[in-house]
Amino acid sequence: MDIIKIIGIGLIALIIIIILRQYRPEFAIYISLIAGALILLLVMDKFSGIISLLNRLASKTDINNQFLLILLKITGIAFLTEFAVSICKDSGEAAIATKIDIGGKVIIIGRSVPIVSALLE
- Per-residue pLDDT tens for 74-104? 988 998 999 899 888 888 889 999 999 999 9
Domain that holds residue 118: 64-121
Residue 56 belongs to some domain of the structure: no
Residues 75 and 114 in one domain: yes
Q: What pLDDT does residue 108 have?
A: 95
- Nearest to 107, CA basis, from 85, 74, 65, 82: 74
Residue 58 belongs to some domain of the structure: no
Residues 40 and 68 in one domain: no
Residues 40 and 71 in one domain: no
Q: Over 80: is that where the pLDDT of 65 sits?
A: no
How many other C-beta atoms can be found within 10 angstroms of the C-beta atom of residue 59? 10
- With residue 56 as reference, give the H or E element that holds it: helix 28-60
Residue 53 belongs to some domain of the structure: no
Residues 69 and 119 in one domain: yes
Residue 91 belongs to some domain of the structure: yes
Helix axes 28-60, 2-23, angle to 10 degrees: 160
- The model carries a pTM of 0.75
